[in-house]
Structure formats: structure tokens, C-alpha cells
Structure 1
Amino acid sequence: MNRIDRLSAILIQLQGKKIVKAAEIAERFDISLRTVYRDVRALQEAGVPIGAEAGTGYYLVEGYHLPPVMFSREEAAALLTGEKLMANLSDHSNKKEFSNAMQKIKAVLRGSEKDFLESLEDNIAVVSRRPPVGDEFPNRFLSDIQHALGKQLIMELDYFALHNETLTKRSVEPIGIIYMSGYWHLIAWCRLRHGYRDFRMDRIKNVAVSADPYDKTRHITLKEYTDRYGDYESKAHVVKIRFPKAFGRRIGDQKFYYGLVEEQTVGECLEMTFLAPCLEWFGRWLLLWGAAPEIVTPVELTEKMQLLATEIKQHYL
């Protein structure tokens, strides 16, 4: 990137954030801090009102705005790809907002870029294996949660927990959101459980964002949470189960809720592969199907089922 393009990009970066640290600029453009200082000085000498706070970073003086940004063909294509992803991987609230934003972006494109996007529109597809969400779970709270995160406000949730199939009311202090294994997850400090909890957003029946703020400094960051509790997929157990084909309809969408990642026909059976974070939780669901399932792997699940079956037998003796 030549210096003129870099100066323009730095100006756009400054307009996109209240305070930008010199280290952020250096990392983005792979330049030294000394070069950052020279570039900022050049912008200031050109009449751009850039302020600086010692030990904090740079900022654009209130009221200064760039003219409308023009996008390159490659940037426009990347945005179209993002729109396709959002349409399939977001919830109802964000789909609408992103679609509105894309309409504004397309409005400022040059005619050739608009033609290019129209020709590309039907040639990009995102296929999701995620099952449809029932009416009882609206799946439209991502925008509300983002608002609570940005303003650091306490939220009240009506949450349906899969492991015990109960609906509980939770008062939470959100620390972040994660997209994982086909679903959005809210990570928050739960006042009921007095600990950090992972709430899958498609299991939330209702959200109310209060006017009461919480102290963000009392909590770990989202990165600290993922470093401490993350790497979900590598910690999950790979489980292979074979069901008689006749059970396919009876199981229905439940298989998705328990972590289905693959399904194939093997002889007269349906072989389903799951990522299960907890073998006991998965095993208790498997008990619903009696002697029909055949555990292919892992051995630990077979041992867990033997213990669960023994527990039930002793209970009813």
C-alpha cells in the first residue's frame, strides 16, 4: 500500500472509532510506531483536526466528517458475502438491520459496481444445517443483547435449559456473544447461579433490557472467558449412534439440539454423529429411546449408560 492510500485508510480508521491507539494503526498496516507518528503529523499538516491524548490515542475533533466512502469492487463483493452469511447465521433482528445497512451501502456504489453485485447475487449461497426455530423461541434478541452489551445494562431472561428442560428467569450481566457450532451464545454473569454462564440464544423465550447499569470492570473480558472455558469443539466428545431408520421421524429436530454434525445411512440404520459437551447429559437423552440406539463410539458413553441404567434399576427395586 502506498503512503497516500495508507493516509486515507488511517483517516477512515480514526472516523470509525472514538479513540484509536497508535499501536492499533501500526498493527493494521504493519508499520512502526515512528511511521504512525509521521503519518498522523502529515494528516494534521494537511488540515485534518486530529487530537491526541497522552497514553490513550488519537481522535478526530467532534464535528469533522469524511465525504461518503466509495467501495472497491472487491470490498463490495466482500460485503455481499457478509450479507449472505448474516441472512443464514444471524437472528431475525440482525438480518433486518444488516439488510437495511446493505441498501445504504449499495446506494453509494458506482454503477459498474452495482451491476457487478447484481450479477454476483445469485452465485453466492450459504447453506445452514440449523433446524427451524419454533414460535415459542422468537430468536430475535441479538440486537437487544448488543444494545445491553454496548451500554453495559443488566438483562432479564426467560431461558429454557435443555439439560433439565425447565424454564427459568435469569438476571444477567452480559460480557459478550459468540457464534459457535451453528448458534449464537450469550456469555454473561448469572446472578441466580453466581457464576459465568453460556446461554444459547435460540433457547431464550423473552428478553428485557433494564435501565440499570452494571460495573463492567468487575468481570473478565470475553477473551479471558474463551481462554479459560473456550476451545469448545476440541473439548466436546465425538459420539456416533446408530438408530433404526424408523426412529428418524420420531427423533425429529431433537438431534440438532444435542449437537448433530453428520447423518448418514448405514445398512438399515441411521448413523448420527454428535459433538456432545457432556456425556452424562447426552446419555440421559439417549435413555429416552430405550434399547433402540447402538453406540458406535466412544466406549466411555457405553460405560456411562451402564451406570445410568443401574441407577434407574436400583431406584425402582
Structure 2
Amino acid sequence: MDDTPKKFDRIIAILIQLQSKKTVRAQELAERFGVSLRTIYRDMRSLEASGVPLYGEAGTGYSLVDGYKLPPVMFTREEAASFIAAEKLVQKFSDKALGGSYNSAMFKIKSILKNEDKDWLQSMEESVLMQQTQTIAPDPVPNVLAELMKSSAEKYCVTLQYQAMDAESISQRLIEPVGVFHDYSNWYAIGFCHLRNDYRQFRTDRIFGIKPTEQPFTHQHQPLEHYLKKDQKPCDITKVRMLVDPKFARYLSTEKYNHGFVSEAVTKEGIEMLFMARDIKQWFPRWYMMYADFATILEPQELIDTVAQLLENYSNRLIAKHPESM
């Protein structure tokens, strides 16, 4: 079978990836294209034979000789359309500075499209909307994400004016940002904190000031994913069965996935939901209490007892606070 067209597309894609990164490992290319290392080595020899100035170093990877560039790459309609969804997400879920930079990049991308593709893209843009399920509080500093990302890439320290959740006042922190991530409608940064002499997590809406310094990093940091996995402490998983009134089950449709939802089945009594819950002492029972008037816990007994104790504690506090109304 002649796979020449497939090989040609792969070699062009390899060349584009070489232009997008300083160094590319052969194993990385093999995993991306689903081929063997031997195939990647043959592709590299083909690029060299066609006059592309490659530099390869054992154990490091391949690089293009500095200064070698290809003409601008043309995007297909489908590739350009994928940027529309990304643009909408950036506008909704990033800070003002980062959003502005992305908008500027999008203008450049659109400028190289053919006229008919520009019209097609504009029509699609008007048909895509990102809605937020809840209001997100604006970050006190409009450029915090852009500054954190820049400092982590260029490896210089930044000074933060930061107020921790349990702190009454703002403290100054000198940190080496490792990276940023988005979780539960908030942006966070992980970095080495010189004040604590350890890695710490910072929520961006608690950052009230950020200032770059000329001080370079003092540590060689692992990739961001390493520290995220490190923060994931092992915990017990408990099977939870809950019977929900069908009329109200839809109200749990989004939040249930944050609490270990596995499956559900329609029964004569209602909709039986199965969870593999991580915390039946704190978070799960408190979440359940929001829907307790139309949901019944079937098992485990430990969760039933926990909810009963929480209700009793609340009732006692309410009576003590307002005895005249009881």
C-alpha cells in the first residue's frame, strides 16, 4: 500500500512542530503521530535531504538551525474555527491582559485567511456563545495571569501582595511561579514561596498586587503537573446510594459530578443514584443537605448518622440563638 501522501502530511506537520518549539524529542513526535521511532528517524533524514537545516543531539532532540523560517502557514477552515471556541473561553475565563493578547493574536490569524473563509468564520463566531453557570468575581489585579505566565516562562521572581483565606491582613510574598491552572471557577498559581521556603498554592482573586523583579529563580522546578499530583492526598472512597424524586433530579445534574457520581437508574420509588464519594464526613453530607427534602440516603449508615448529627447541631444552635421562636 502506498502511504506517500500520509508520509508527506506527517513530515510537513513535523516541520511545523519544529518551528513551534526550540527542541523536539523523537519520542514526542512518535507518540503524536502514532508511528515508531524508526519512522521518525527516516522522516528526519527526508527533511535533511530536502535541504531543511536540522540539528540533532542524542538525548536532547531535534532543532532547526537558528534563523531558518518557513513562510506563514495557512489554516484550514476547521483549524480556524477551533480558535473561535478558544477565544470565547479566554474572554470569559481569563484576566483582562491575557484576553487582550489573545484577541490581538486572533486578528493576526484572521488576517491571513481567504475572504470567503473570513465570512464563514464570522458567521460561525456569531453562533458560538460561552455562558457561565455562576458569577465569577473579578481579580483585583487585571494582569495577574499574564504576569504569572510570563515570569514562569522567563524564570524571574515576582512579588505578590497576597491575602490568604485565614489571614486578616495582606502579606508580601516573593515567589517563583511554576504555572497556573483553573479549577472550580477560580484561577490558581503554584510557586515556590521564599517566605514559607516551600511550594504554595495562590488563588488569583486573593492577589492584590503583583510586581516583577530582576531576581532569577533559585530552584530548578518540576513541571506544573508534578505539584498538582503531589497535592492530591489519598483518601477513602465510600459507596453512596441515594433515592431522588424524579421531579427534582435535574437540579443535581451538574453538581453531582463534583461529588463522585457514577450512575443512576429509574426505579418505581424514584431515581436511584450511585456515588463513589471521597468525603462523607464533611463535604458530601453538607452538599446533600441542600437537597435533603427530596432525596433519601439509602446507604451507608455512617453517612445517615453524619447528616442526622449535623441537623441536630444546627437545630440546637438555632434554638439557642432564637429561643423565643421555638
Deviation per residue, 1:181-216 (Å, 9 max, x gap): 112100112222232211111221110111101134
User: Residue type matched to 2:76 in 1?
Assistant: S
User: Residue type matched to 2:94 in 1?
Assistant: S
Q: 1:17 aligns with which of 17, 21, 32?
A: 21
Q: CA deviation at 1:302?
A: 7.8
1:109 and 2:113 are equivalent in the alignment: yes
Equivalent position of 1:273 in the other structure? none
Is the 8 Å Cα contact of residues 136 and 185 (structure 2) preserved in structure 1? no
Q: CA deviation at 1:137?
A: 1.0
Say which is worse superposed, 184-193 or 57-66, in terms of deviation.
184-193
CA 1:302–1:49 in structure 2 vs 1: closer, same or farther (change >3 Å)? Answer: farther
Is the 8 Å Cα contact of residues 152 and 215 (structure 1) preserved in structure 2? no
CA 1:30–1:231 in structure 2 vs 1: closer, same or farther (change >3 Å)? Answer: farther
Classify the secondary structure of the residue corresponding to 1:208.
strand
CA 1:171–1:301 in structure 2 vs 1: closer, same or farther (change >3 Å)? Answer: farther
Deviation per residue, 1:149-200 (Å, 9 max, x gap): 0111111101122334432211112111111111210011222223221111
Q: 2:140 aligns with which of 134, 137, 141?
A: 137
Q: 1:160 aligns with which of 163, 170, 174?
A: 163
Equivalent position of 2:230 in the other structure? 228
Q: 1:32 aligns with which of 29, 36, 45?
A: 36
Which protein is bigger by CA-based radius of gyration? Answer: 2
The residue correspondences of 1:193-212 to structure 2 (distance < 5 A) are 193-212=196-215
Q: CA deviation at 1:295?
A: 9.5
Classify the secondary structure of the residue corresponding to 1:2.
helix
Classify the secondary structure of the residue corresponding to 2:163.
strand
1:188 and 2:191 are equivalent in the alignment: yes
Q: Which runs of 5+ in 2 are unaligned?
A: 238-257, 259-277, 298-302, 321-326
Percent of aligned pairs with the same amino acid? 36
Is the 8 Å Cα contact of residues 139 and 204 (structure 1) preserved in structure 2? no
Counterpart Cα distance in 1 of 2:170 and 2:160: 10
CA 1:295–1:120 in structure 2 vs 1: closer, same or farther (change >3 Å)? Answer: closer
The residue correspondences of 1:1-317 to structure 2 (distance < 5 A) are 2-133=6-137, 137-217=140-220, 219-230=221-232, 306=313
Counterpart Cα distance in 1 of 2:77 and 2:65: 31
Classify the secondary structure of the residue corresponding to 1:177.
strand
Is the 8 Å Cα contact of residues 176 and 191 (structure 2) preserved in structure 1? yes
CA 1:42–1:220 in structure 2 vs 1: closer, same or farther (change >3 Å)? Answer: closer
Q: CA deviation at 1:13?
A: 0.3
Equivalent position of 1:268 in the other structure? none
Classify the secondary structure of the residue corresponding to 1:24.
helix
TM-score by length of 2: 0.70
Say which is worse superposed, 56-65 or 191-200, in terms of deviation.
191-200
Is the 8 Å Cα contact of residues 158 and 212 (structure 2) preserved in structure 1? yes
Classify the secondary structure of the residue corresponding to 2:140.
coil
Is the 8 Å Cα contact of residues 29 and 40 (structure 2) preserved in structure 1? yes
Counterpart Cα distance in 2 of 1:138 and 1:129: 23
Equivalent residue pairs, number = 262
Equivalent position of 2:274 in the other structure? none
User: Residue type matched to 2:25 in 1?
Assistant: K
Is the 8 Å Cα contact of residues 189 and 201 (structure 2) preserved in structure 1? yes
Counterpart Cα distance in 2 of 1:26 and 1:152: 30
Is the 8 Å Cα contact of residues 186 and 204 (structure 2) preserved in structure 1? yes
CA 1:300–1:164 in structure 2 vs 1: closer, same or farther (change >3 Å)? Answer: farther
Say which is worse superposed, 221-230 or 114-123, in terms of deviation.
221-230
Counterpart Cα distance in 1 of 2:193 and 2:203: 14
